[in-house]
Structure 1
Amino acid sequence: MADTFSDTELLTQDEFRDSENARMDTKLWRRLFNYVLHYKGHLAVVAVCGGVLGITEMAFGLVTKWLVDDIQTNGTDASLGTWTLLIVIASVISSVMIVGFVFLVSKLRAMASYDIRLDAFVNIQKQSFGFFDKRPVGWLMARLTSDCERLTDILTWAFLDFVWGTAMMLSMGTVMLILNWKLALCAFALLPMIGWVTVKFRRSILQTAREVRSTNSLITGSFNESISGVLTSKSFVKESENLEEFSQQTDRLYSSSVKNLTLSAVYMPIMMTVGSIAAGLTIAIGGLDFLNGSIVAGTLIAFMGWMRFFFEPVTEMAHWFTEMQTAQASAERILAVMDAVPAINSDGQVKPPDDNSIDSIDIRSVSFAYNPPESVLSDISLKAVAGETVALVGPTGGGKTTLANIVCRFYEPSSGCVFVNGTDYRQFPLRWFRSQLGVVLQHPHVFSGSILENIRYGKPSASDSEVFAAAKTAGAHDFIDQMQENYDTEAGAGGSKLSAGQKQLISIARAILADPQVLILDEATSSVDTATEQHIQQGLENLLQNRLCFVIAHRLSTIRNATKIAFIQSGRVEEYGTHKELLRLDGLYADMYRQQSLRESIESSFDLADKTRNDVVDADSALN
C-alpha cells in the first residue's frame, strides 16, 4: 500500500500551520475571498438584494408601529388599508429580493468553486512525481471535492448573511435609537458578551475541526487504496485487516466529530440564550415604561418585533463564524495544494533544436535519494547516442526504474546532471523535452474510453490509418480486430476490460504513434508471449533508427539485441559494455546471463514436452 500519514504528518509537511495555533487567519480568508470578489458585478447585486432585504425586515416593525399608533390616536380603522398595503408591498419586495439573491449566490458559489478547483488542479499538474509519492490519491481528491464545497459555501452564503445582517442591524439599531435610546441600549448591552463567548469557543472548535478534517483525509486515502488494491487484498485474504484498519480510523473520526459537534452545539444555544436575555430585558423595561406612560404602545410593539429579529443576524453570523473556524483547516489544506512549489522547474532558457532531434543523452555522476540521506543511485555515469539501445539490467531494487525516471525528468538528480545534446536538460523547456519521449511502463495506465482513443492519446491529431499502423507495429492489431467493436471497444476504467498483456500492447502502440525521439521501455513486454515480443522488436527496428532507446528487461532476447548493457546493482553501474564484452568480463552480467539462459532452456523443454504430449493425444484421438 502507498505511504500513509498520521494527523501530525499531514499538518506539518511545511504546508500546514501548527495545529496548536488556533487563531483565525484573516490573511488566509482574505485571499480566498478574492475568488468571490473577482465577480464584482454579481457581488454588487447580491449586496443590494441583501441590504434591501435587511431594511425591509426593519420596515415591517416601523409600519406596525405607525399602524398601532394611528389606531390608538385616532380610534378608527380609516387608514388600516393604507398600512396593510404598505406591509403587502414590503412583503413583495422581500420575496423578490430573496429570489434574486438566492439565485445569484448559487451562481456565485458555482463560479467560485470552479475557479478554486481549476487553480488547484493546474498546480497539481505542474508537480513532479515526488509530490504524489508523499500524498495519497484520496487526500488530494478530498481537497478538490469536500474541502472546495465547504469553502465556497462559506465564501458566498456567509457573505450574503453578513450583508443582510449588517443592513438589518444598522437600520434597526438606528431607528431604535431614534425612537427610544434607553430601550435601544438595553438591546445592545449584551453584544460584548456575545463577542466574549465567541472568542472563548473559537480555539477549541478550530482544533477539533482540524482533527476531523485530517482523520477524514486518512479515511478517504485508505478507502481509495482498498478499492484500487482489491485484487492484492483478496489474494492475500486481508479483508479482515483492512476492515480493522478502516474501523480504527472511523472510530477516530467519530470521536473527533463528536467533540467538534458538541462544542458547536453548545455554542449556538448560548448565543440564542444571550439574545433572549437581551430581548426579555428590553421588553420588561419597555413594558414598565408603557405602563408609566413614557412610551406609546406602537413603540413597545415595534421593539418586541425587532428584538425577535435583531439577534437573528447575530446568531447567523455566529454560526458562520463557527463554520469559518471549523473550515479553516480545509482552507489551509487547499491553499497548501495551490501553493505547492514544483520541485522541477518547467521553464527553459535554451531553445530546442529546430528539428526536435535528440542526438545524445549523457548521464554524468548522477546520484539520487527519495528520502535523504538514503541514496537510491550513487555516482552513475553512462552515455547513449541516437541509434543506440541501452539495456538496464540487474537485480530487483537496484535502481533501474529510478534511473529511467530521472532520464524522463520525472525526478531530478540530487547531484550530477543529465545532458541532452551536450546541454544540461534542465535548460530545455520541460514540455518540449517530455514531448520527445515515448514511455512504456510494466504496468501501463489505460484510460476510460475506446481503444482507439487510448492509442491516439499521445497524438490526438493522428488519423485512423496511423492508429491502425501503430497497432500493427506493436502487435496489438490482431487482438483488437477480434473484439466485437474492434477499435471502438471500451477499455473500461483503468483498462479493466483488458488483460495485462493487451494493456502493454496498447501502451506500446500509443508510444509508437507519438513518434518519439527517445523511447523508454520499462519491462514493457513482460506480460506478452515470446512470439509477440519478437514481432514488437521487428516492428521497432525501423522506428529506432537514428533514435535513442533505454530498455529495462530481463528476457535474453531483448538484452542481446541492445547496443550497450548497463548492469546496475545497489544504485551503481557495476558493469557497462556490449553483450559480448560483458560475457568476456565474466562478472555479474555473465553470471546473470547464464542463470537466465538455463531458466529459459528449462522452460523451453517443458513447453516442447507439453507440445509433444498434446500431439500424441491428438494422434490417438484421430486413430480412435
Structure 2
Amino acid sequence: MTRPLRPMMEPPAERTRDFKGSATRLLRRLVPQRGLTATVLLLGIGGIALGVVGPRILGHATDLLFNGVIGRELPAGLSKAEAVEQARARGDTTFADLLSGMDVVPGRGVDFDAVGRTLLLALGLYLVAALLIWLQARLLNVVVQRTMVAMRADVEAKVHRLPLSYFDTRQRGEVLSRVTNDVDNIQSSLSMTIAQLLTSILTVVAVLAMMLTISPLLTGITVVVVPLSLWATRTIARRSQKLFVAQWRNTGRLNAHIEETYSGFTVVKTFGHRAHAEDRFRDLNDDVYEASVGAQFLSGLVGPVTTFIGNISYVAVAVVGGLQVATGQITLGGIQAFIQYVRQFNQPLTQVASMYNTMQSGIASAERVFDLLDADEQVPDPPVPARVPDRAAGRVEFEHVHFGYRPGTPVISDLSLVAEPGSTVAIVGPTGAGKTTLVNLLMRFYEVDSGRILIDGVDITTMSRHDVRSRIGMVLQDTWLFGGTIYDNIAYGRPDATEDEVIAAATAAHVDRFVHTLPDGYATRVNDDGGNVSAGEKQLITIARAILARPHLLILDEATSSVDTRTEVLIQQATAELRRDRTSFIIAHRLSTIRDADVILVMEAGRIVESGTHDDLLARHGEYWAMTRA
C-alpha cells in the first residue's frame, strides 16, 4: 500500500485564489472554437431579439381588443377628441384621461381580423425564436464538448511531461481526482452555465432596450434594484466560495484514501485496520458532506434573495404603471408588455444568481486543473537529440554525479563508476544508500544536479528520454500488470512482436511452464492486484516482457526479494538468460543473487565505499564482508 506523503504536499488554499482570472482563463479555452462560438452568439442574438419583440406585439393585440371594447360603447360619428371633451364636460376626468391615451374610433368594435393577424405574427416570431435558441444550444454543446476534449488531451499530455517528483510528493488518488472528477465537474459546469450566461446577458440588454421604448420612468424603477441584487449575490458568494474549494479539496482527499485502501486491501485486512480505515473514511466523508452542504446552502440563498428583490421592483412597476394607464400616459397593452419585460428582465438575473453555485464549483475545479497544467515540467529534450548507434556496445559511465531529491539534502555525492559492455554490475548497501536513486538517474526519471551519465560516450541529457528508456529494460521488485491477458502483458514489451517471439520470451522466462496449467492458457486475464497467478509468477511475466523488449541495458531492482526459494531459482535462471550479452545493473539485498556479478559496488550514504568481485570483497574483510556475516 502506498504510504501517503501528506507532509510533502502543498497545503491547498482555503478559497479560490483568483476567481476572475481562473474564469477568464477557462473562457479563453473556447477561443479555438471561435467560428462556432460566433455562430452561437449570432443565433442567440437573433433568437432573443425575436423573443423580446413578442410581448410588444401581444401588447398591441391587447390594445386592439381594449380599443374595440371602448370604441363600441362610444357614439358613432364622433371623433376621439370630441369624445374626450364630452367626458370632461360630464366631469368624468379619469375616463377622459384614459381615452386620450388610446387609439380608439368611436362606434367601431373589435377588429378581430387585425387581432388574429397580430397573434399569428407573435406565434410565428416565438416559433422562429425557439428554433434559433435550439440551434444555439446544439452548437454550444458542440463547442463545450470540443473544448473539454482539448482540455482532457492537454491534461493527459501534461501528466506525461511531469517529472516523477510531482507524483512522489502527492497522493495518487488526489491526482486522479483532478484528472477525472475535476475535469468532469468543469464540463458539467460549462454546459450548465455558459449557455445560461450568454442567454441572460443578451436577454437583459434586449429587454432593457424594449423597456426604454415604452417608459423610461418605469425602466428606471426596474433598474434601481439591480445594484441591491448584485450586492446580495456578491455577499453570499464570498461566503460560499471557500466552501466550494474545500468541497473539491476534500473530495480529492477522500478519493486518495479510497484508492489507497482498495490498493492495499489485503494489507488492511491482514493487520486488522478495517475499523481504522472505516473511521478515516467516515471522517473524510463527513468533511465532504459538511463543505458540500454549507456551499450549497449558502449559494442556494442567492436565488430566493434576488427573486425577492426583483419582486419589489415588480410591485412598484405595477403600482406606478397602473397610475400611468389611468392618466393616459401609457396604454393598457403597453403596461402589459412592460410587466412581461420586468419578468424577463428579473428572470435572467435570478437564474444567473441561482446558478452561481455551479459557477463557483466549476471554477474551483478549474483552478485545481490549472494548478496541474501549470506545474513545473521535466527538462525538455534537446531540439536535436544525440543518438547512440544501434550497434552500440552498452558502456555506462557515471562521472562525478551529485544529486538530491531536496535542495541541501544530498543523496548521491561525487559518484563515479564505469560499467563495461556486457558486464553485470551489482549494487548493494543499506536502505537509503542511494541504490534505487542510481536507477532513477540512469532512466532520467530525475535529472542529476551536477556531473554526467554517459551511454557509449553520449551524455544522456543530450538524448531524448524515449531514446534513453527504449534502450533499457527494467524488472522491479513491485510487479506491474495491467488488466488484460498474460499474452498482452508480455507483448507490452514490444507490441509489434510476433506470436512466436512472445512465446519464445515466455519460455525463456519460465512463464510457459505455469501458463499451461491455467484453464485459458495465455488468454488468462490478470491484473496487478490479484487474479489467479502468484507474486512469483507475476514477476516471471515481467521478466518475459523485458526479454521480449530486447533492451541494450538491463536493470534488475530487487527482482527476487518477494518470492520463495524455488521461484527465486527460476527467476535467477530467467534473468541470467536476460542478462546474456547485455550490460546489467542488479540491485539486491540477497547477496546470493549477485555472487557471479562481474563487479559488486557497495554503497553507503550516496557514495561507493567498496568495489570488486565477490571473492575480492570477502578477502578485504570490509563492508561487504560484514554484510555477508549479518
Q: TM-score, normalised by structure 2?
A: 0.87
1:25 is matched with which residue?
20
Structure 2: any 5+ residue segments left out of the alignment?
A: 69-108
- The code of the aligned residue for 2:441 comes to I
SS in 2 for 1:122: helix
2:156 is matched with which residue?
121
Distance (Å, rounded) in 2 between the aligned partners of 1:134 and 1:486? 40
Q: CA deviation at 1:70?
A: 1.3
Distance (Å, rounded) in 1 between the aligned partners of 2:262 and 2:374? 30
- Contact kept, 8 Å, 2:480 with 2:528, in 1: the verdict is no
Distance (Å, rounded) in 2 between the aligned partners of 1:86 and 1:496? 70
Q: 1:181 aligns with which of 207, 216, 230?
A: 216
Distance (Å, rounded) in 1 between the aligned partners of 2:605 and 2:9? 33
1:526 is matched with which residue?
561
CA separation of 1:5 and 1:539: change in aligned 2, threshold 3 A? closer
Root-mean-square deviation (CA, aligned residues, Å) is 2.4
2:628 is matched with which residue?
593
1:256 is matched with which residue?
291
- Contact kept, 8 Å, 2:16 with 2:245, in 1: the verdict is no
CA separation of 1:348 and 1:505: change in aligned 2, threshold 3 A? farther
- The code of the aligned residue for 2:416 comes to S
Distance (Å, rounded) in 2 between the aligned partners of 1:393 and 1:496? 33
- The code of the aligned residue for 2:222 comes to A
Q: CA deviation at 1:163?
A: 2.5
Q: 2:57 aligns with which of 51, 57, 63?
A: 63
Distance (Å, rounded) in 2 between the aligned partners of 1:539 and 1:294? 99
- Contact kept, 8 Å, 1:566 with 1:573, in 2: the verdict is yes
SS in 1 for 2:363: helix
- The code of the aligned residue for 2:158 comes to N
Q: 1:241 aligns with which of 261, 276, 284?
A: 276
Q: CA deviation at 1:350?
A: 4.3
1:563 is matched with which residue?
598
Q: CA deviation at 1:584?
A: 0.8
Distance (Å, rounded) in 2 between the aligned partners of 1:572 and 1:354? 31
1:2 is matched with which residue?
3
1:47 is matched with which residue?
41
CA deviations over 1:385-427 (Å, ceiling 9, x no partner): 2111011122334332222222222122344332222333211
2:524 is matched with which residue?
489
2:321 is matched with which residue?
286
1:579 is matched with which residue?
614
Distance (Å, rounded) in 2 between the aligned partners of 1:228 and 1:539? 29
Distance (Å, rounded) in 2 between the aligned partners of 1:218 and 1:261? 20
Q: CA deviation at 1:215?
A: 1.5
CA deviations over 1:501-546 (Å, ceiling 9, x no partner): 1110110011111100110011223345555544554555565344
Distance (Å, rounded) in 2 between the aligned partners of 1:299 and 1:177? 12
CA deviations over 1:209-231 (Å, ceiling 9, x no partner): 22222122111111111111111
1:408 is matched with which residue?
443
Q: CA deviation at 1:466?
A: 0.5
SS in 2 for 1:401: helix
- The code of the aligned residue for 2:246 comes to E
CA separation of 1:157 and 1:185: change in aligned 2, threshold 3 A? same
1:479 is matched with which residue?
514
1:213-612 alignment, distance < 5 Å: 213-347=248-382, 349-355=384-390, 357=392, 359-492=394-527, 494=529, 496-530=531-565, 533-538=568-573, 540-541=575-576, 543-595=578-630
- Contact kept, 8 Å, 2:395 with 2:457, in 1: the verdict is yes
- The code of the aligned residue for 1:9 comes to E
- Contact kept, 8 Å, 1:33 with 1:155, in 2: the verdict is no
Q: CA deviation at 1:465?
A: 0.4
CA deviations over 1:545-598 (Å, ceiling 9, x no partner): 442100112344421111111122343322111111101111221232345xxx
CA deviations over 1:433-469 (Å, ceiling 9, x no partner): 0111101111110011111111111211000000011
1:107 is matched with which residue?
142
1:37 is matched with which residue?
31
SS in 2 for 1:79: helix
Distance (Å, rounded) in 2 between the aligned partners of 1:539 and 1:548? 16
Q: CA deviation at 1:349?
A: 4.6
CA deviations over 1:113-151 (Å, ceiling 9, x no partner): 211111011110112221111121211221122211222
Q: CA deviation at 1:157?
A: 3.8
1:611 is matched with which residue?
none
- The code of the aligned residue for 2:4 comes to D
Distance (Å, rounded) in 1 between the aligned partners of 2:364 and 2:8? 12
Distance (Å, rounded) in 1 between the aligned partners of 2:17 and 2:314? 33
Distance (Å, rounded) in 2 between the aligned partners of 1:392 and 1:4? 27
CA separation of 1:538 and 1:8: change in aligned 2, threshold 3 A? closer
Q: CA deviation at 1:303?
A: 1.2
Q: CA deviation at 1:382?
A: 1.9
Q: CA deviation at 1:311?
A: 1.0
- Contact kept, 8 Å, 1:272 with 1:315, in 2: the verdict is yes
Distance (Å, rounded) in 2 between the aligned partners of 1:258 and 1:539? 57
CA separation of 1:33 and 1:494: change in aligned 2, threshold 3 A? farther
CA separation of 1:301 and 1:231: change in aligned 2, threshold 3 A? same
Distance (Å, rounded) in 2 between the aligned partners of 1:5 and 1:530? 37
- The code of the aligned residue for 2:429 comes to G
CA separation of 1:168 and 1:6: change in aligned 2, threshold 3 A? farther
- Contact kept, 8 Å, 1:473 with 1:540, in 2: the verdict is no
- The code of the aligned residue for 1:513 comes to L
- Contact kept, 8 Å, 2:15 with 2:245, in 1: the verdict is no
Q: CA deviation at 1:68?
A: 0.5
- Contact kept, 8 Å, 2:58 with 2:119, in 1: the verdict is no
SS in 2 for 1:440: strand
- Contact kept, 8 Å, 1:23 with 1:203, in 2: the verdict is no
1:190-205 alignment, distance < 5 Å: 190-205=225-240
SS in 2 for 1:223: helix
Identity of aligned residues (%): 31
SS in 2 for 1:217: helix
Deviates more, 1:56-65 or 1:101-110: 101-110
CA separation of 1:535 and 1:263: change in aligned 2, threshold 3 A? closer
Deviates more, 1:157-166 or 1:121-130: 157-166
CA separation of 1:145 and 1:91: change in aligned 2, threshold 3 A? same
User: Rg: which structure is higher?
Assistant: 2
- The code of the aligned residue for 1:69 comes to D
- The code of the aligned residue for 1:475 comes to H
- The code of the aligned residue for 1:104 comes to L
Distance (Å, rounded) in 2 between the aligned partners of 1:512 and 1:535? 15
Distance (Å, rounded) in 2 between the aligned partners of 1:159 and 1:124? 28
- Contact kept, 8 Å, 1:5 with 1:218, in 2: the verdict is no
- Contact kept, 8 Å, 2:617 with 2:625, in 1: the verdict is yes
- Contact kept, 8 Å, 1:50 with 1:160, in 2: the verdict is no
Distance (Å, rounded) in 2 between the aligned partners of 1:262 and 1:524? 54
Q: 1:153 aligns with which of 174, 188, 201?
A: 188
Distance (Å, rounded) in 2 between the aligned partners of 1:528 and 1:35? 51
CA deviations over 1:456-501 (Å, ceiling 9, x no partner): 1121100000001111111111111222221121113655342111
Question: What is the number of equivalent residue pairs in this alignment?
Answer: 588
1:605 is matched with which residue?
none
CA deviations over 1:255-307 (Å, ceiling 9, x no partner): 32233223212222221112111111111110111122221110111112121
CA separation of 1:83 and 1:141: change in aligned 2, threshold 3 A? same
CA separation of 1:537 and 1:23: change in aligned 2, threshold 3 A? closer
Distance (Å, rounded) in 1 between the aligned partners of 2:569 and 2:11? 48
